[in-house]
């Protein structure tokens, strides 16, 4: 009886152990598929995801130059005083925008007072000469004056007219003011880029320094530096992209307008002039600029959007897309980047689809 009881206990123990092992085996089998499940791009990400295609394009080399924004010298006008005197009533400041003909300042001048006096004398002499001629003609018809007297009166009138014309021209050249003041006016519309005078300052008419300098900044020049190794890539008329520190997200389009065919003996660079429009006046003189020159070669290379390229651990990658559950991290051979396009030498094939937005986010998810 005891033997039967012990045998029953042993059977019960074996059944309990078997149940536990069976339970653990089922639990393991249930968890295993979840552990082996791969990354899948969420539907919320897929809604905004941009997929692009590997294509083949003409290879473009991008050369980056440094430079500084300057004024267009053809549109820069220095304003001088033609007379000696004292500056008064300055109406503008550095950086102000002025219209053509706008008054900038007044010069109190003894010379202008003399021009006004000369005008009055010339007008008086003309009136006297005209009356003298009329009187001489009447006397000639009455036999009281000779023909010579009449001719002399005519010559005197012509001389008086000539003198009045001369005085008017001189006065007009000097501003035309008859109150003894020289009015400094702007010859063009533009910005005051230099100002060298203050009120009550004495100036001379033969001074080589301008009172004001005015520039029309609707288009500007950039003097760019080209190192000797890049000279062969620069050509007249090339289109360039210009960026500045002030507006890092904005690109300006310009053109190579002049190449200085000499190297600076100190810096060993060749100067290149780039001209570009500036309709909203955002480019200011003395701003530093970065100039990208795109030189297109006869070769072709694979190209992808720059937003599709990932750099990690000293290697460039793209994410080749098959479906949302099948995305492969693929190393590529990087050649160069020109704006929104990156040229590559291998790793993918023409027609392959690559993820061109949120690439870093998905790359990190695949590596986690």
Q: In this structure, are residues 283 and 48 in contact, taking their beta carbons and an 8 Å threshold? A: no
Q: What is the mean predicted confidence (pLDDT) over 86-92?
A: 90
User: Confidence class of residue 298 from pLDDT cuts 50, 70 and 90?
Assistant: low
Strand residues in 13-75 grouped as ranges (E) = 51-53, 55-71
Q: Tokens 């008054």 belong to which residue? A: 103
Contacts for 41-49: CB closer than 8 Å, 24+ residues apart: 41/324, 41/325, 41/327, 41/362, 45/358, 45/361, 45/362, 46/324, 48/357, 48/358, 49/355, 49/357, 49/358
Write down the pTM of the prediction: 0.56
Strand residues in 236-314 grouped as ranges (E) = 239-244, 252-263, 269-277, 288-305, 310-312
pLDDT over 70 at 275, yes or no: yes
Return the structure tokens found at 301.
Answer: 């290379």
Please give the Cα distance from 294 to 338 (Å, whole number).
8
Give the total number of structural domains in the chain. Answer: 4
CATH of residue 170's domain is: 1.10.287.470
CATH of residue 93's domain is: 2.40.50.100
CATH of residue 272's domain is: 2.40.30.170
Q: Per residue in 43-73, pLDDT tens?
A: 888 899 999 999 998 887 778 899 999 999 8
Return the structure tokens found at 102.
Answer: 């706008």
Residue 170 within a domain: yes
Per the structure, the complete domain to which residue 250 belongs is given by 64-72+217-297
pLDDT at 33: 36
pLDDT over 90 at 256, yes or no: yes
Residue 160 within a domain: yes
Q: Per residue in 103-149, pLDDT tens?
A: 999 988 877 777 777 878 888 888 998 988 888 888 878 777 787 88
pLDDT over 70 at 213, yes or no: yes
pLDDT at 299: 80
Residue 233 within a domain: yes
pLDDT at 10: 55
| Sequence-separated (6 or more) residues with CB below 8 Å from residue 259 | 234, 236, 270, 272, 273
| 86 shares a domain with 192 | yes
pLDDT at 173: 74
Please give the Cα distance from 113 to 132 (Å, whole number).
29
Residue 40 within a domain: no
Q: Tokens 């507006």 belong to which residue? A: 247
pLDDT over 70 at 3, yes or no: no
Sign of CA dihedral 177, 191, 272, 59: negative
pLDDT at 112: 74
Pick the range with the lowest mean pLDDT from 108-117, 273-282, 333-342: 108-117
Of residues 349 and 168, which shows the higher confidence score? 349
pLDDT at 19: 55
pLDDT at 273: 94
Residue 271 within a domain: yes
Going by C-alpha positions, the residue among 271, 248, 246 that lies closest to residue 261 is 271
What is each CA distance from 209 to 77, 149, 203, in whole angstroms? 13, 53, 10
pLDDT over 90 at 248, yes or no: no
Domain boundary among 269, 297, 325: 297
Please give the Cα distance from 253 to 276 (Å, whole number).
6
Q: In this structure, are residues 56 and 335 in contact, taking their beta carbons and an 8 Å threshold? A: no
Q: What is the mean predicted confidence (pLDDT) over 6-22?
A: 52
Residue 20 within a domain: no
């Amino acid at each position: 009886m005891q033997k039967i009881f012990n045998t029953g206990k042993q059977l019960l123990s074996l059944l309990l152990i078997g149940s536990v092992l069976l339970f653990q085996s089922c639990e393991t089998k249930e968890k295993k598929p979840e552990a082996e499940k791969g990354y899948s791009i969420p539907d919320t990400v897929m809604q905004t995801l941009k997929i692009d295609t590997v294509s083949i394009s003409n290879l473009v080399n991008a050369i980056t130059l440094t430079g500084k924004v300057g004024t267009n010298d053809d549109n820069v006008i220095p304003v001088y005083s033609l007379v000696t005197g004292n500056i008064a009533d300055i109406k503008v400041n550095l950086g102000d925008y002025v219209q053509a003909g706008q008054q900038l300042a007044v010069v109190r001048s003894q010379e202008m007072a003399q021009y006004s006096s000369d005008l009055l004398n010339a007008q008086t002499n003309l009136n006297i000469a005209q009356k003298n001629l009329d009187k001489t003609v009447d006397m000639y018809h009455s036999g009281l004056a000779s023909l010579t007297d009449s001719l002399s009166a005519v010559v005197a009138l012509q001389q008086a007219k000539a003198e009045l014309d001369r005085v008017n021209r001189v006065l007009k050249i000097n501003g035309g003011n008859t109150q003894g003041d020289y009015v400094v006016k702007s010859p063009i519309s533009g910005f005051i880029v230099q100002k060298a005078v203050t009120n009550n300052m004495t100036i001379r008419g033969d001074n080589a320094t301008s009172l004001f300098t005015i520039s029309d900044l609707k288009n500007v020049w950039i003097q760019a530096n080209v190192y000797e190794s890049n000279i062969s890539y620069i050509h007249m008329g090339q289109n360039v992209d210009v960026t500045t520190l002030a507006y890092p997200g904005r690109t300006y389009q310009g053109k190579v307008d002049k190449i200085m065919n000499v190297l600076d003996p100190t810096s060993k660079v060749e100067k290149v002039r780039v001209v570009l429009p500036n309709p909203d006046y955002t480019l200011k003189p003395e701003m530093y600029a970065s100039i990208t020159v795109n030189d297109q070669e006869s070769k072709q290379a694979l190209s992808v959007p720059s937003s599709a390229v990932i750099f990690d651990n000293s290697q460039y990658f793209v994410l080749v897309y098959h479906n949302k559950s099948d995305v492969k991290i693929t190393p590529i051979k990087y050649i160069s980047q020109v704006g929104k396009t990156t040229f590559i030498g291998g790793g993918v094939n023409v027609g392959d689809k690559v993820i061109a937005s949120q690439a870093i986010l998905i790359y990190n998810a695949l590596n986690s």
